[in-house]
Structures are given as C-alpha cells and as structure tokens.
Structure 1
C-alpha cells in the first residue's frame, strides 16, 4: 500500500511539464517543474485529504493520462510499454485542478488556505511560494504552464469539482 502520494505527484507533474514545456534552458526547466509540482501537490492533497483516501488511490490507482493526452492532442499511439508505465500514475483530476491553480492566482490562494484544515497541512503557505507569488523569472519560465487559454482544455475537465471542494466561501466565475 502507498504510504503517500509521491507517485501520483511525480507522474502528474511530469505530465504537466511535458504538455506545457518550459521556455528556456535548465534554470527555466527547474523553475517550471517546481511550479507544476507545487500546484500538483496542492491539488493532490485536496483530492485525497485523508490517509484513507491516499491508501485507496494507492490500491486502485489514479487512472492514467489517456484522456488528458487526448484532450491536449498528444500522440499516445507510438509509446512503448516502458515509456507508458509512468503515465498510469497520472491523475486526471489532480492535473485538471493543478491547471486551475496555475491559471488562477485567487483560486490557488483559496486552495492553499483550505489545506490548513486537512491532514496534509504544511502549516505555512510559504511552502507554495512559487505557486502563489511567482516572480518574473518564474512566470517567464512557465509561460505555457500558466497561460489560462492554453490550460483551458485541461482545467475545464474538473474545475467545477474543485470549486465544490473549496466550498462557497467566495463566488468565483466558472
């Protein structure tokens, strides 16, 4: 049984950074990955808020990237079995929620604030600084990853469920 969500977080982060690659060299790639990982971590912790939820996804698996690949137009037909294995740990809902958070700073703030009520609490929003307060270098590195129009097809898949999960604290346009 999985003790944590690290396989889901790693695979979903990898999928996002492949679907929306960084602009630039090694530093841009690292900054883009950090932003994606922070958004995916918040999304995964919201989606699987208890130890029981984490255990269940460890047993059942998250579902894979097939629908995400289809929505974004990725060609999945020529992948060998080894190149496909990591994709089975991609969580479509987590990827969609992470896309919502990356595209909407206010929603990201609400989501991080909501974590304080769950079992995954870090105690500080500072752990998600690059998600919540990206500087110019962060934004440039992740220009595709944070572009609302480019993320719309993925974010739209499960945005309503994220808004339901966060509750009616504020009225956000869907």
Structure 2
C-alpha cells in the first residue's frame, strides 16, 4: 500500500504548469515548476495530513484531471490519445484548486504553511516554501500566468471554501 503523496504532487504540479506555463526560457520554466510544486506540496499535505489519509488516497485514487481540463479548456487540446496522458489520472482536483488559491494569495499561503506544523509531513518552516510564500521578482515574472488571480480563478473557486474551512475550523461567516 502506498502512503506516499509524490505521484499526486508530481502529476498535479505538472498539470498546473501545463495549464499555466512559464513566461520565458529554461530558467523561468524551472522557477515556475518549483513554485507549482511547493504550492501543490502544501496543498497535498493539508488535504492528506496523515499517513493513513495518504494510504487511503493510494487505494481510492485522486480522481484525475477531467474536470480541471474542462474548466480550463485543456480538454480540447488532449484529443483522443488517452494513453499518452495516463499521468493525468494522478491529478487531484482538490489539491490543484487549493494550490491555485495559495499561488494567488500570499497571506493564505503563509497561513497554510504555518498550518503544516499541525500535520505529520513537515515542520512547516517558511524556508521550505520560500518561493511560494515570499516570491522574488524573478519568481513572479517566471510564473506570471501561474500566479494570475483571474486566470486561476476557475480552478481556485472549485474548492476554495474547503481550504478556508481547513485553515479556519469553526469559523463563522457574516452575511
């Protein structure tokens, strides 16, 4: 039984960087990928905080990128060759949505990283996720599409409320 989230993290980060690619050359691609991977890692660790949660995900599967592809219009580019895109079955829609929220809201990202201290994956230190919580100009330029709130809104809006509930348990909404 697999209790490792690395396939989900890798596939979901790959989906994000494919849907919202880097602006620039090879260095920009690497910086964009690092930011996506950090956001997805934080989101996955929040979503699956224990080894049991991760093991259950390994049994049930993450669900794939189908809805995300439809929301972003990427399904039109996929064509009929589903075998070439088998990695997409490891994309977790909720994790991608939470990562999109974190990439577009630095305060929320900092709160999410701080919340990792409660889980079993990491100490949640800010240094581990510097490019997510404190991107510099080169990070922002490389990931201009990946961090654009309007572009990521359709993905972020899918499960944003669940992320806010996870970070603020028992909060009351003022109508």
Class of the TM-score when normalised by the shorter of the 2 chains: over 0.9
Task: Please state whether the residue corresponding to 2:112 is helix, strand or coil.
Answer: helix
- Partners of 2:33 and 2:96 in 1: CA distance: 13
In the alignment, what sits opposite 2:159? 158
| Deviation of the 1:77 alpha carbon | 5.0
CA RMSD of aligned residues (A): 1.8
The yes-or-no answer on 1:48 pairing with 2:42 is: no
Output the TM-score relative to the length of structure 1.
Answer: 0.94
| Deviation of the 1:171 alpha carbon | 8.5
In the alignment, what sits opposite 1:17? 17
Contact 1:2-1:58 within 8 A present in 2 as well: yes
In the alignment, what sits opposite 2:108? 107
| Deviation of the 1:91 alpha carbon | 0.1
After superposition, the Cα gap between the structure-2 partners of 1:131 and 1:118, relative to the gap in structure 1 and judged at 3 Å, is same
Task: Please state whether the residue corresponding to 1:116 is helix, strand or coil.
Answer: helix
Structure 2: where are the runs of 5+ without partners?
A: none
Structure 1: where are the runs of 5+ without partners?
A: none
| Deviation of the 1:123 alpha carbon | 4.8
| Deviation of the 1:9 alpha carbon | 0.1
- Partners of 1:106 and 1:97 in 2: CA distance: 14
- Partners of 1:111 and 1:153 in 2: CA distance: 20
- Partners of 2:133 and 2:78 in 1: CA distance: 36
- Partners of 2:12 and 2:28 in 1: CA distance: 19
Stretches of 4+ aligned residues off by more than 4 angstroms: 168-173
